[in-house]
Amino acid sequence: MGRRSERLSRPRLLIGDTTGEGDVIQVVSRAFDVLRCFEGHEARLGNLEISNRCGLPRSTVSRLTHTLTRMGQLVYLPRDQKYRIGPSAVAMSTSMMKGLQLRNLIRQRLQDVAEQLPGTVGFVIPDRFHLVYLEFARSANALGLHEVTGSRISMASTAAGHAYTAALEPEIGDALLAEMEREAPEAAKVLRPRIETNRQFLRENGYVVACGLWSPHINGVAVPLWSPQYQTFVVVTIGLLAAMYDEERLHAEVAPMMIELGRSVGGLLEGAEGDVFNSRLDRKPVAVTAHNNNKPIRSEGVNELEAGTRRARSARSVRARDGGR
């Protein structure tokens, strides 16, 4: 009797009576699709809006939002007849952000580049057919892109997405592209013709350029890096106004700075492979070299994590273990 009561007290995924493993996986996948629709804590969406955003039947969305509300992942607002992100989702995301010290170091590196180039510099991670900004930086006179932490960008129409897919082992990248062709065919049409060229260019140069894909007014450069924390490739990227930075200027002026940024961030990622997230990082002054001259400058400080980092490996020198894609 006790076991029966325990089973009844647990929230269940209310999607019919399917019990097979494949059905459970599909339900979980759809639940995450619903949660992805909420960008920011203040987002308020009804079932119809969610259905339109994630392409699921409204009846399925209704059952999912009901279950997610019972689990605390969503909160229902009776007056608006809409949902917003719930306390359990906020708590879960907060518990995943223990690497803030590492992220602060990465943000400092991005800002170093942003002070020299009038664009938006980002550190992004993959999320199915998109990438999400974990950190970003821009100078006061930045023009063009205005992404923020948590913004999602298309994998198919950005330099970051092209760099990420080019860095994957060919069989993994091809599998991702095949999945994209089934679920997001328009995006796949943009990426498919360029993937082999991107792979070759990345092998030879260490970065990828995309001009006018996301917008005819924006050009971008991106460098993929292997992340031991996420066991996949992450990307440092920059978007600049095409009127100021044509493709020739991207290769000549922007790419070298982004490669150096990639080495710096990659070193931080490798040095943080251990359990550094909860340890105190003592700061010490260190001399570094500016990008635009050979004079040593003094940074505000560096910590033991930075001092122990190694030179980042090339994206193609590590085998992608991103087999779940």
| Tens-digit pLDDT profile for residues 210-247 | 998 878 889 999 999 998 877 889 999 999 999 999 99
Residues 175, 290 within the same domain: yes
Measured CA to CA, the distance from residue 211 to residue 241 in angstroms comes to 10
Note the pLDDT of residue 103. 84
**Total structural domains within the chain:** 2
> What is the DSSP secondary structure assignment for residue 20, as one 8-state letter?
S
Measured CA to CA, the distance from residue 293 to residue 87 in angstroms comes to 49
User: What average pLDDT does the chain have?
Assistant: 77
Note the pLDDT of residue 145. 57
Mark which of 52, 68, 89 sits at the end of a domain.
89
**Alpha carbon 33 to its chain's center:** 16
Asked, for residue 245, whether it belongs to a domain, the answer is yes
Cross-strand pairs, 163:
none
Measured CA to CA, the distance from residue 305 to residue 13 in angstroms comes to 43
| Tens-digit pLDDT profile for residues 252-295 | 999 999 999 999 999 998 876 543 333 333 333 323 333 333 33
Interval 28-42 mean pLDDT: 81
Note the pLDDT of residue 284. 31
What is the phi-psi region of residue 207: left when phi exceeds 0, alpha when psi lies from -120 to 50, beta otherwise? Answer: beta
What's the pLDDT band for 321 if we cut at 50, 70, 90?
very low
> What is the DSSP secondary structure assignment for residue 140, as one 8-state letter?
T
Residues 309, 166 within the same domain: yes
Interval 182-197 mean pLDDT: 94
Residues 125, 269 within the same domain: yes
What's the pLDDT band for 93 if we cut at 50, 70, 90?
low
Note the pLDDT of residue 152. 85
Q: Is the pLDDT of residue 319 over 80?
A: no
Owning domain of residue 161:
98-317
For the chain, what percentages of helix, strand and coil (3-state, to nearest 5) are there? 45, 20, 35
Note the pLDDT of residue 3. 42
Residue with tokens 């600049």: 240
DSSP reduced 3-state for 310: coil
**What's the pTM value of the predicted model, to 2 decimals?**
0.63
Q: Is the pLDDT of residue 107 over 60?
A: yes
Note the pLDDT of residue 159. 96
Residues 61, 169 within the same domain: no
Residues 25, 110 within the same domain: no
Measured CA to CA, the distance from residue 281 to residue 59 in angstroms comes to 50
Mark which of 89, 114, 137 sits at the end of a domain.
89
Measured CA to CA, the distance from residue 77 to residue 46 in angstroms comes to 10
Q: Is the pLDDT of residue 163 over 70?
A: yes
Residues 67, 189 within the same domain: no
Measured CA to CA, the distance from residue 283 to residue 278 in angstroms comes to 15
Note the pLDDT of residue 320. 35
**Cβ–Cβ < 8 Å for 61, 50:** yes
Residues 68, 130 within the same domain: no
Q: What is the dihedral of CA 268, 270, 271, 277, to 10 degrees?
A: 80
Mark which of 89, 118, 134 sits at the end of a domain.
89
**Cβ–Cβ < 8 Å for 105, 261:** no
